Amino acid sequence: MNNCTDPRDPFVFFDLGNVLVHFDHDVAVRNVAGLVNRQQDLVKETLFGSGLQNRLETGLITSHEFADIALRQLQSQLATYDFLEAISAIFQPNMSILGILRQLKHAAVPMAILSNTCEPHWQWIVKQRWPVMEEWFDFCVLSYEAQSMKPDSRIYEICEAKSGRLPAQLFFTDDRAENVAAAEQRGWKTHHFSAVPPLAQALEQWLGWPLHPQAGSPETGT
């Protein structure tokens, strides 16, 4: 944990999905459909169209409750563990962002994760021990724990309180425009994430010193 709590110091928040890790919900649909022997359209509607996933990501139901409801609707006796594994094995690390994380860490710029996610997804990612999930981050603000999802204001308030920073000292990157807009309205510096080089440019403009997107990346080996 970084001990500097000067509200004038910079603090960087990263979204998780499609920033630190890539994911595809269609993989979850295919995984579950194969295990329960149901049509993919039915599985997709059960998991996502019904709002069940949102209830899980806001902590309104537990992982086991989520599994029980979904499997009952799908008329399946699949074990809870196998179901939760199937919906979670949808992620891959974004290794190209490692150079940015290493440079910020080396410069003692504190970082945190701000993510709309659920407990089974988070636990699955943590178990993979990917380099992008090493000890870069001072803390994580996760929607299922906060019981609030971006772009709701409550989850940003939690980030401000935990960081101890003024809004103008917070930088946030996310792949969803509505989440970026909500942070920007609060006075945060924001970047709509699409790729690592534009993120590096936005960060160096904000911080006032250069970042090199590929520095320390697996591609360069430096």
- pLDDT band of residue 6 (cuts 50, 70, 90) is confident
CB-CB contact of 194 with 213 (8 Å): no
Residue 2 lies in a domain: no
Element (H, E) at 68: helix 63-73
Q: Which domain holds residue 145?
A: 11-22+92-207
Within-domain flag for 134: yes
Task: List Cα–Cα distances, 98 to 91, 105, 182, 214, in angstroms.
Answer: 16, 10, 26, 8
The mean pLDDT of 37-66, rounded to a whole number, is 96
pLDDT band of 65, cuts 50, 70, 90: very high
Instruction: Tell me what the mean pLDDT of segment 88-109 comes to.
Output: 97
Total number of domains in the chain: 2
Q: What is the CATH number of the domain that holds 161?
A: 3.40.50.1000
Among residues 197, 17, 150, 171, the alpha carbon closest in space to that of 94 is found at 17
**Residue 5's pLDDT band (boundaries 50, 70, 90)?**
low
> Position 112: which residue type?
A
42 lies in the same domain as 132:
no
Q: What is the mean pLDDT of the chain?
A: 94
> 150 with 175, same domain?
yes
CB atoms closer than 10 angstroms to residue 189: 20
Q: What is the pTM of this model?
A: 0.92
